[in-house]
Amino acid sequence: MVWYGALMIDPADDGEQRADWTDTFTSLDPAAPALTVGELSTQRGDGIFESIGVVDAHPQEVTAHLERLAHSARLCELPAPNLDQWRAAIEAAAAHCGPGEAVIKLILSRGVEHGPAPTAWVTAAAASDFHRARTEGVRAVTLDRGYAIDVPARAPWLLLGAKTLSYAVNMAALREAKRRGADDAIFLSSDGYVLEAPTASLIVRRGDTFLTPAPNGGILHGTTQLSLFEHLSERGFVVGYDTIPAAALADVDAAWLVSSIRLAAPLTAIDDTSLPTDAEFTASLNAYLLSPRD
């Protein structure tokens, strides 16, 4: 990975207001040690994060990512992040990004056990090349997520709607997908409903209607999915949320996995069912996603 830079943040209280946050940032060498051995982000995955796509040094959908960071902090009972401070940190990190695509990551950890404050930092790095996934598509397999669709409402302590650092299950699912000859996975609830991919949202098309699984099943509300729905609505399409049975995936007219960095990757097959794709339409979605968006 090509690193552009990193900043450690001295977290401010949510209500603090400033014209300049520069003195709350400390520049770091991304290749040098920066965390203590007692850091709970590494010991327990006890923290939250966001990944922001950057195009030609312009960070995309910053407001949506900051709102989701605050949402995750509430669910995890972390101190509310000062969003003005984080926005300034994003701008400082983006200034180090050159032409092309990059990724800025925001990390907010509970810090050191019994420590005085959470640990917070921002990194900027070159993005991976996803041209092939965007143009040729990806194959996915469905995997059981291990809980029924009503579990998130009954057990909010599972933090299923938060973007936490605990990604071991997500990475295990991707490894299992590759063992089965696929590129990605789509999680299903144990009672047979479609959820999301380990690192992406799912959008399906039926005629001129575009649907994504309703977020009441502990699904992370995708910033890219929200932006695409706004774009599709402006183009005259119908968009909506639905509880989608797994069996319905075989009958869709098209489907995409969408995320902030990979953008829109058309699904060419789910399990053993091939899906139709539309290269020109997908290209139009990615052209929109690569355009400057705040």
Q: Which residues on neighbouring strands pair with residue 18, listed in sequence order?
A: none
What is the CATH code for 3-126? 3.30.470.10
pLDDT of amino acid 1: 81
Task: Give the residue from 139, 144, 146 showing the smallest Cα distance to 180.
Answer: 139
Strand duo 47-55 + 101-109: pairing: antiparallel
- Average pLDDT (74-92) is 97
pLDDT category at 146 given cuts 50, 70, 90 is: very high
Q: Return the CATH number of the domain spanning residue range 131-289.
A: 3.20.10.10
pLDDT digits (tens, 9 = 90+) for 6-47: 999 999 999 999 999 999 999 999 888 899 899 999 999 999
218 touches 271 (CB < 8 A) = no
How much is the pLDDT for 216?
Answer: 80
**DSSP-assigned letters across all residues of 140-191:** EEEEE-SS-TTHHHH-GGG-TTS-BS--HHHHHHHHHHHHTT-SEEEEE-TT
This prediction has a pTM of 0.96
pLDDT of 101-135, one tens digit each? Answer: 999 999 999 999 887 789 999 999 999 999 999 99
pLDDT score for 218 = 82
- Round to the nearest angstrom and report the end-to-end CA distance of the chain: 26
Q: Where are the domains of the chain?
A: 3-126, 131-289
Which pLDDT belongs to residue 217? 74
pLDDT tens-digit series, residues 38-72: 999 999 999 999 999 999 999 999 999 999 999 99
- HSE-CB at 208 with a 13 A cutoff on CA atoms is 6
Q: Which residues contact 268 (CB under 8 A, 6 or more apart)?
A: 136, 137, 138, 139, 274, 275, 277
Contact by Cβ (8 Å): 245, 36: no
pLDDT value of position 294: 85
Of residues 90 and 221, which shows the higher confidence score? Answer: 90
| Rounded mean pLDDT, 138-166 | 93
| C-beta of residue 89 within 8 angstroms of C-beta of residue 49 | no
